[in-house]
Amino acid sequence: MMSNIVQKDAGIIVMHNIFWFRNNFRLSANEPLLQCLKNSTSLSFIHIINPKINELNLEGNKKNLFYLRALIELEKKLQKKGHKLYIFHGEPKEVFAQIMMGNKINEVYAEKIYAPYELEEENIGIHTNFIWDSTLINESDLPFAINELPDTFTTFRKQIENNKIRVFSEDTPKFPSKTNLKEVKEFKLPLLPEFMFTGSVEFLNDYPISEEGANRYVDDYFSTQKPSTYKSTRNELSGMNFSTKFSVWLSLGFISVKQVFNKLKEYESLNGENESTYWIFFELLWRDYFRFLHIKYNKQLYLKNGLERNLQRINYSNENIPLINSANTNSTFINAAINELKKSGFLSNRMRQILASFIVNEMNIDWRWGADFFQKFLIDFDIYSNQGNWIYIAGFGTDPRGGRKFNIVKQKKMYDPNNQYENKWNENT
Ligand SMILES: Cc1cc2nc3c(=O)[nH]c(=O)nc-3n(C[C@H](O)[C@H](O)[C@H](O)COP(=O)(O)OP(=O)(O)OC[C@H]3O[C@@H](n4cnc5c(N)ncnc54)[C@H](O)[C@@H]3O)c2cc1C
């Protein structure tokens, strides 16, 4: 292995660093990247497709197609800056061992991810600066230590919502020169088939899957009056006019939550605040809350009984899993939801709650299987929000009511009285 001792060229400390894109696929308002740019004299950008996190089967899986398009756009963006994105396939430890064999690298910079598997991924055998950058509120600005994070969302929200939110400067420093990595085995991205996004995320056909696309989309959203009616429409099941769809842009970090917050504040200053504009902020706080819960509890959120000590309630069975996999349950409403998830890669928040409740309460399937099922298909998959919401519905997280059980017949009557949703997603299946 080559030495990674800092070399001195004519008295200047030379830092050959690596920036590892994990989830934050953007060049602006990206704190780990900012730190990296400040501290590097030359740089290589890498991304690692870890098969344990991303299975790359492309056959109709919109999540994977979305992800690969995003990588292609990121490659192009770096090329314009005179850089290259090295893409690897494998476990990070092995990838870095290979890089270090043929290259002198001083430091690695990357986003910190507080989920159990992603934390394990961090053991790569080289000094790495993992920098936290995915919440609206900085951890250091919380009015309590993280181990005192309230166990209910409402208490958390009340304690923090009046805090001043510090937003990072958006200037991105000049990029240092490129370091070519030698003797590494790069992964060649597969050719993408022709495909279209459908359902509630059909709009993705009109935007590049990139930082530019995210900014343009969020600006377009705030140029309408939709934010002022968000609260009354957010529970609808499908279409473009309910909820913001920001999750698809936040998931891979094409835009940061702080940037979204700035744009929301700008909208409010031009159009006025109301309950709906506040509610967008309120939902973004839920996103933060599940992140902070991960910092506090981490692996515990992945146990069958989660944060609860009483094991007696758990008696799950795998028997009904094939019914979910094949969208062949006794509820045509639920089958439509499964079809929508698989075909489009998206579900409304309401439908996620109904389907999760059905899987846990009616099918008696382990909620963690449900969380994995969503992970496979959701374009906007986010480890913190997915795990946090699943454990909440299953009643092993921080729900003060001990879990949520939805009456499927009632929900169907309320949200799909004319069968429009069912007909759309059960068609041709
Ligand atoms: C079982 C289950 C699994 C989920 N899995 C994910 C997931 O993998 N990725 C994901 O981003 N969201 C997840 N959610 C949360 C929520 O359903 C989505 O964030 C939301 O539907 C995305 O659509 P939107 O951007 O239009 O949301 P909007 O209603 O417009 O909300 C604005 C933003 O607030 C945040 N937000 C809204 N609701 C929640 C919530 N309940 N929890 C955390 N953040 C929230 C999101 O960042 C969202 O983009 C899940 C919810 C459930 C019930």
Q: What is the pLDDT of residues 295-343, one digit of tens each?
A: 999 999 999 999 886 666 678 999 999 999 999 999 999 999 999 999 9
Calpha distance 157→282 (Å, rounded)? 8
Q: Quick check: CB of 250 below 6 Å from ligand 1? A: yes
Q: Which atom of ligand 1 is closest in space to residue 284's alpha carbon? A: 34
pLDDT for the residue 10: 53
pLDDT for the residue 337: 98
Mean pLDDT of 40-68: 90
pLDDT digits (tens, 9 = 90+) for 345-359: 999 999 999 999 999
pLDDT for the residue 236: 83
Computed from CA positions of residues 383, 421, 68, 263, in that sequence, does the dihedral angle turn out positive or negative? negative
Place of tokens 């799950």: 316
Q: How confident is the model at residue 242 (pLDDT cuts 50, 70, 90)?
A: confident
Q: How confident is the model at residue 56 (pLDDT cuts 50, 70, 90)?
A: confident
User: Is the predicted pLDDT of residue 180 greater than 60, yes or no?
Assistant: yes
Mean pLDDT of 387-414: 89
Closest CA to 33 of 180, 168, 182, 181: 168
Q: How confident is the model at residue 152 (pLDDT cuts 50, 70, 90)?
A: very high
Pick 51 or 86 by higher pLDDT.
86
Mean pLDDT of 140-158: 94
pLDDT for the residue 427: 84
Mean pLDDT of 267-272: 97
Closest CA to 344 of 205, 189, 192, 193: 205
Q: Quick check: CB of 243 below 6 Å from ligand 1? A: yes
Q: How confident is the model at residue 404 (pLDDT cuts 50, 70, 90)?
A: confident
| Mean predicted lDDT score pLDDT of the chain | 92
Do 160 and 137 form a contact (C-beta atoms < 8 A)? yes
pLDDT for the residue 174: 87
- Tally Cβ neighbours within 10 Å of residue 69: 19
Distance 247 CA to ligand 1 centre (A): 6
Mean pLDDT of 372-395: 96
Q: Quick check: CB of 356 below 6 Å from ligand 1? A: yes
The encoded tokens of residue 253 equal 């970090």
Q: Is 384 helix (H, G, I), strand (E, B) or coil?
A: helix
Strand boundaries in 15-151, DSSP class E = 16-21, 42-49, 85-89, 107-111, 128-131
Residue ID of nearest Cα to ligand 1 atom 44: 287
Distance 347 CA to ligand 1 centre (A): 9
- H or E segment and range at residue 32: helix 31-38
pLDDT for the residue 11: 56
* Domains present along the chain, CATH in parentheses: 7-133 (3.40.50.620), 199-299 (1.25.40.80), 307-424 (1.10.579.10)
Of the chain, the percentage scoring pLDDT greater than 70 comes to 95
Residue in 349, 352, 372 to alter for ligand 1 test, most ligand atoms within 8 A of Cβ:
349
Q: Quick check: CB of 153 below 6 Å from ligand 1? A: no
